[in-house]
Amino acid sequence: MPKYQPPRGTRDFMPWEMVRRQYMFKVINKTFEKFGFAPLETPSFESWELLGAKGGGGEAIKDEIYYFKDKGGRGMGLRFDFTASLARVVASNPQLAKPFKRYQIGPVWRYDNPQAGRFREFWQADIDIAGSRSMAADAECIAALASCLKDLGFKDFVIRLNSRKLLNGLVEAAGINDKKAPSVFRSLDKLEKQGQHAVEKELKKSGATAKQIEKIMGMISISGQPKEAMPKARQATEGFMDAKQGLDDLEEIVELSKAYGTAGMITIDLSLVRGLDYYTGPIFEIKSISKKGSSVGNIAGGGRYDNLIELYGGQPTPATGGSLGVERIFEIMLEEGMFAGIPKEKTLVFVAAAMNTPAMKKFAIQTSQKLRQQGIATETDVMGRKLKKGLEYADSKGIPYMIIIGEKEIKSGKMTLKDLRSGEQRLRTLKSIVVAVRKYQKQ
Amino acid sequence: MPKYQPPRGTRDFMPWEMVRRQYMFKVINKTFEKFGFAPLETPSFESWELLGAKGGGGEAIKDEIYYFKDKGGRGMGLRFDFTASLARVVASNPQLAKPFKRYQIGPVWRYDNPQAGRFREFWQADIDIAGSRSMAADAECIAALASCLKDLGFKDFVIRLNSRKLLNGLVEAAGINDKKAPSVFRSLDKLEKQGQHAVEKELKKSGATAKQIEKIMGMISISGQPKEAMPKARQATEGFMDAKQGLDDLEEIVELSKAYGTAGMITIDLSLVRGLDYYTGPIFEIKSISKKGSSVGNIAGGGRYDNLIELYGGQPTPATGGSLGVERIFEIMLEEGMFAGIPKEKTLVFVAAAMNTPAMKKFAIQTSQKLRQQGIATETDVMGRKLKKGLEYADSKGIPYMIIIGEKEIKSGKMTLKDLRSGEQRLRTLKSIVVAVRKYQKQ
């Protein structure tokens, strides 16, 4: 049993995992930038005033985050998402050109009960567009997230789309007081996890009549391709302005998504609610479908929040965005073998001295330095070990090439290049070694 | 006055700063990997048992870090460096192949009094080698850090080198009880900041005689190029084994540094102590010299700590490493104009519709998607704006190219490419646009 361990719900990422995580983040990063999102970085903790603000996290969130007091007695919390900080930045920098399109990738912290696949420290990758009321912004966020998934190798996924405005309309159409909408949403949000019966029970408890419940449950069962689901939804909510506005928004997103090439993946799903209180317009979630055809859980989600920035003291600024569930994405990529071809070891060459003499050791260092100057990741002995031990080390790590330096090699300017996979070895000049290794690198 | 602000001592990094920070970290990352260091990531907070362990941070560190209790009442602290976590990982994973060469780049937190250039949340970039007693490991860490600085464009710097063993020998040679060595080191560490007088006063207070003080102050004044300083240091400490071992170590590092190309920057400086208690062998600091020839402060440092991993419950495992002061490095790079040529804006093309019609808007999105598929960072309107506003936005952000889509363009397959720097515009096919933009990208 080790003397010390990482805190509960946190993890160490060992080099062979990190290489793959870095690959995943690099692809995401690059894709976000292809869509014109620029990096923003905010502090790892924020004042409790911000995190617990009404309309943002709210008082209740204190139990779910890492809350602490700093030495000056000020309440602080580790960030539990990037949205609060983004809203703060936009609110306090009114001079920022709009649209303000930013991404942020990094760890966030929640005081969850750690269980399978859930951690207290986990990474997120967010994009948001502040300053645009247009559904073009929502369609672009969805397209950018879908594009990340494609670039990572995900082939099949479903984009579930709904709208808070439409949901408001549903509540209205069911004859429920619209002040009760937030509590109704919280109940509906439990449908997937707790099932229809539990949701109906909760709605009843909060004062809805059997008829109202029947009506609302009927409406949220509407789902399917936009072509089919939209007319049904229009019919069910006819005469309710909020619902109409919500449906018009969704129609516009679907239309623009055709140009983005994402329309075919969209399912309208009136039962989608999402947990957060601050959404005001379209909301979405992306589900991946495994090779075997089964859903493997939500891997992205987001929505529009037009009031949050004003709530945080800024000018009225509409905003929309979304987040990739990178921890789940990473797991799926591992399970489905999507890292095949990404080498776990980045060092390409190990330079070894045939004998443990100072002159040879120095020549090995000099040779390593020359390779590094050519951009080739190179190791050489730092243990005072003999050739055989160096070979074992290089082999166990999966380093593909070894250069062996001997007396002859120092004199002739040629050295032995050994391919550790095939065992082949040949005398070569350094220049031709560089060519051979670069060729391998490009494979 | 904004309603909410980042917590005291923390910062938001806006996109134009982030682009440069990302460039800096990318260069460092790549250089570390060229030397065969592999990424490791550890939690942002650790148990207080680990952080406050004797020989590591120690009880006293509680005042200098973000300490908090989790909801289970367990003491925790935000990490104040990466070394404690690395030692924990090595201690609890005895199966790791040695040498274990890892890097870690990320934020650390200290409850410092925020002042000019000092922050409570700041980034560090560390490399360490666990498992090697050989001075080849120390020489390699120094070379890798110096190589990062060179790759970032630093031309002139000094590597100050000393050894805790040699310092032990000095204390012995001055006739002071070696149990007092740690307290003597703490006093000497204040030399640069508080001056000779203050240090002598402190030494006197801790019981050293005037003669002892004179002797030790004389010895620590030895500094200079290895060729000159080493014989002086040998003479001053003759007959003391610890000092001899320390000097032999330094000689070996200097010798190996010749092969690394770093020997010319090394200054032996017997007054270098470094703050941490856990060092056991060679220690170093790197100072940058500005264009005007003045020192601009320490930008890297490190040393050997052969006992820490065992202290944390591991098998006896020697280790050595160092850290780049990336926040200071970033400031210097800004001050000295070292980011010239790194564009602040990554988007290369803005695709605009000549008229605000749905068909043209969609065509603009489709064109953007085609450019993105070619790896070109592209934006298009998400605001529902007209051409002129789009042009203003692209111009204000510094996006170099604009594509304008009109009726004619949709029909002919050619579109107007406008160079926003020169104002030139020409009808081109998308293919030839891709070629032109790629050419710009490579400049």
> What amino acid is encoded at A114 in this protein?
P
In chain B, the residue whose alpha carbon lies closest to the alpha carbon of A86 is B12
A354 and A328, same domain (yes or no): no
Which residues, in sequence order, are bridge partners of residue A210?
none
**Which of A131, A144, A116 has its CA nearest to residue A37?**
A144
The answer, for B374 touching chain A at a CB cutoff of 8 Å, is no
**pLDDT band per the 50, 70, 90 thresholds, residue B2:** confident
User: Are the C-beta atoms of A256 and A137 separated by less than 8 Å?
Assistant: no
Range of the structural domain that residue B235 is part of: 15-186+219-335
**Residue B158 has what pLDDT?**
96
Residue ranges in B375-422 assigned as alpha helix (H)? 387-397, 407-412
Measured distance CA(B304)–CA(B281) in Å, rounded: 5
Calculate mean pLDDT across residues A93-97.
Answer: 95
Predicted ipTM?
0.95
For A183-337, strand residue ranges (E) read 223-224, 266-269, 282-289, 295-304, 319-324
**Contact residues for A420 (Cβ-Cβ < 8 A; gap 6+):** A391, A394, A395, A399, A400, A401, A402
Give me the residues of B, 183-212, that contact A with CB < 8 A.
none
Q: How many CB pairs under 8 A join A and B?
A: 276
Question: Using a CB-CB distance cutoff of 8 angstroms, which residues of chain A are in contact with residue B122?
Answer: none
Calculate mean pLDDT across residues A180-188.
Answer: 89
Question: Using a CB-CB distance cutoff of 8 angstroms, which residues of chain A are in contact with residue B72?
Answer: 8
Nearest residue, CB atoms, B12 vs list A89, A312, A382 = A89
In chain B, the residue whose alpha carbon lies closest to the alpha carbon of A63 is B71
A20 and A47, same domain (yes or no): yes
**Residue A275 has what pLDDT?**
78
The answer, for B376 touching chain A at a CB cutoff of 8 Å, is yes
Question: Do B49 and A14 lie within an 8 Å CB cutoff?
Answer: no
Calculate mean pLDDT across residues B204-213.
Answer: 92
pLDDT (tens digit per residue) in A200-228: 999 999 889 999 999 999 999 999 999 99
A377 and A245, same domain (yes or no): no
Nearest residue, CB atoms, A4 vs list B50, B66, B74 = B50
Q: Using the predicted structure, report yes or no on whether residue B181 has a pLDDT greater than 90.
A: no
Bigger pLDDT: A409 or A372?
A372
User: Are the C-beta atoms of A47 and A75 separated by less than 8 Å?
Assistant: yes
**Residue B54 has what pLDDT?**
80
Measured distance CA(B81)–CA(B57) in Å, rounded: 10
Question: Using a CB-CB distance cutoff of 8 angstroms, which residues of chain A are in contact with residue B358?
Answer: 255
Question: Using a CB-CB distance cutoff of 8 angstroms, which residues of chain B are in contact with residue A258?
Answer: 362
Counting the structural domains of chain B, the total is: 2
Any domain includes A5: no
Q: Using the predicted structure, report yes or no on whether residue B115 has a pLDDT greater than 80.
A: no
User: Are the C-beta atoms of A41 and B13 separated by less than 8 Å?
Assistant: yes
Q: State chain A's mean pLDDT as an integer.
A: 94
pLDDT (tens digit per residue) in B216-244: 999 999 999 999 999 999 999 999 999 99
Give the closest-approach CA distance of B175 to chain A in angstroms: 35
For residue B205, how many other CB atoms are within 10 A of its CB? 10
B234 and B376, same domain (yes or no): no
Question: Using a CB-CB distance cutoff of 8 angstroms, which residues of chain A are in contact with residue B134?
Answer: 382-384
Question: Do A38 and B260 lie within an 8 Å CB cutoff?
Answer: no
Q: Using the predicted structure, report yes or no on whether residue A67 has a pLDDT greater than 90.
A: yes
Torsion angle of C-alpha atoms B155, B145, A25, A163, degrees rounded to 10: -70
Which residues, in sequence order, are bridge partners of residue B403?
B351, B417
A364 and A248, same domain (yes or no): no
- Mutate: best of B11, B34, B109, partner A, most A CBs <10 A: B34
Give the closest-approach CA distance of B211 to chain A in angstroms: 42
**Residue A260 has what pLDDT?**
97
Any domain includes A396: yes
B172 and B50, same domain (yes or no): yes
Residue ranges in A71-190 assigned as alpha helix (H)? 83-92, 135-151, 164-173, 181-188
B161 and B33, same domain (yes or no): yes
Any domain includes B372: yes
**Which of B290, B333, B434, B257 has its CA nearest to residue B19?**
B333
| HSE, side-chain direction, 13 A CA sphere, residue B105 | 22
The answer, for B134 touching chain A at a CB cutoff of 8 Å, is yes
Nearest residue, CB atoms, B34 vs list A2, A136, A375 = A375
User: Are the C-beta atoms of B219 and B170 separated by less than 8 Å?
Assistant: yes
User: Are the C-beta atoms of B185 and B273 separated by less than 8 Å?
Assistant: yes
Lowest mean pLDDT among B86-90, B178-182, B309-313: B178-182
Question: Using a CB-CB distance cutoff of 8 angstroms, which residues of chain B are in contact with residue A381?
Answer: 136
A378 and A278, same domain (yes or no): no
B273 and B369, same domain (yes or no): no
> What amino acid is encoded at B4 in this protein?
Y
Lowest mean pLDDT among B287-301, B332-346, B403-417: B287-301
Give me the residues of A, 66-95, that contact B with CB < 8 A.
66, 68-72, 74, 76, 78, 85, 88-89, 91-93
What are the φ/ψ torsions at residue B209 (nearest 5 degrees)?
A: -80, 165
Question: Do B68 and A71 lie within an 8 Å CB cutoff?
Answer: no
- Residue in this structure with the two tokens 């912290």, named with its chain if needed: A109
Domain end position, chosen among A304, A335, A366: A335
DSSP-derived 3-state class of residue A298 = strand
Give the closest-approach CA distance of B98 to chain A in angstroms: 8
**Contact residues for B302 (Cβ-Cβ < 8 A; gap 6+):** B141, B142, B145, B283, B284, B320, B321, B322, B323
- Mutate: best of A22, A41, A304, A362, partner B, most B CBs <10 A: A41
The answer, for A347 touching chain B at a CB cutoff of 8 Å, is yes
Calculate mean pLDDT across residues B420-439.
Answer: 94
Any domain includes B5: no
B114 and B251, same domain (yes or no): yes
Any domain includes A9: no
Measured distance CA(A167)–CA(A189) in Å, rounded: 12
B433, two tokens: 């646009």
B223, two tokens: 């500094």
Residue B390: which CATH number?
Answer: 3.40.50.800
The answer, for A426 touching chain B at a CB cutoff of 8 Å, is no
- Residue in this structure with the two tokens 């363009």, named with its chain if needed: B409
Residue B305: which CATH number?
Answer: 3.30.930.10
Measured distance CA(B193)–CA(B275) in Å, rounded: 12
The answer, for A384 touching chain B at a CB cutoff of 8 Å, is yes
Domain end position, chosen among A308, A335, A362: A335
B319 and B389, same domain (yes or no): no
A365, two tokens: 């260092």
Question: Do A4 and B255 lie within an 8 Å CB cutoff?
Answer: no
Q: State chain B's mean pLDDT as an integer.
A: 94
- Taking each helix axis as running N to C, give the angle between helix A226-236 and helix A241-260, from 0 to 180 degrees, rounded to the nearest 10: 170
Any domain includes B198: no
Lowest mean pLDDT among A202-211, A265-274, A286-295: A286-295
The answer, for B215 touching chain A at a CB cutoff of 8 Å, is no
Domain end position, chosen among B335, B369, B403: B335
**Contact residues for A235 (Cβ-Cβ < 8 A; gap 6+):** none
> What amino acid is encoded at B205 in this protein?
K
Calculate mean pLDDT across residues A266-278.
Answer: 91
β-strand A45-47 against A75-78: which pairing, if any?
antiparallel
**Which of B383, B381, B378, B380 has its CA nearest to residue B347?**
B378
Report pTM: 0.96
**pLDDT band per the 50, 70, 90 thresholds, residue A117:** low
DSSP-derived 3-state class of residue A276 = coil
Torsion angle of C-alpha atoms B353, B357, B362, B364, degrees rounded to 10: 0
Calculate mean pLDDT across residues B310-317.
Answer: 95
**pLDDT band per the 50, 70, 90 thresholds, residue B116:** low
Portion of chain A with pLDDT greater than 90, in percent: 84
> What amino acid is encoded at A297 in this protein?
G
A297 and A398, same domain (yes or no): no
Question: Using a CB-CB distance cutoff of 8 angstroms, which residues of chain B are in contact with residue A147?
Answer: 372
**Contact residues for B433 (Cβ-Cβ < 8 A; gap 6+):** B349, B371, B401, B403, B415, B417
Question: Do B34 and A376 lie within an 8 Å CB cutoff?
Answer: yes
Question: CA-CA distances (angstroms) from residue B53 to B45, B48, B62, B149, B312?
Answer: 15, 8, 11, 33, 8
Q: Using the predicted structure, report yes or no on whether residue B33 has a pLDDT greater than 90.
A: yes
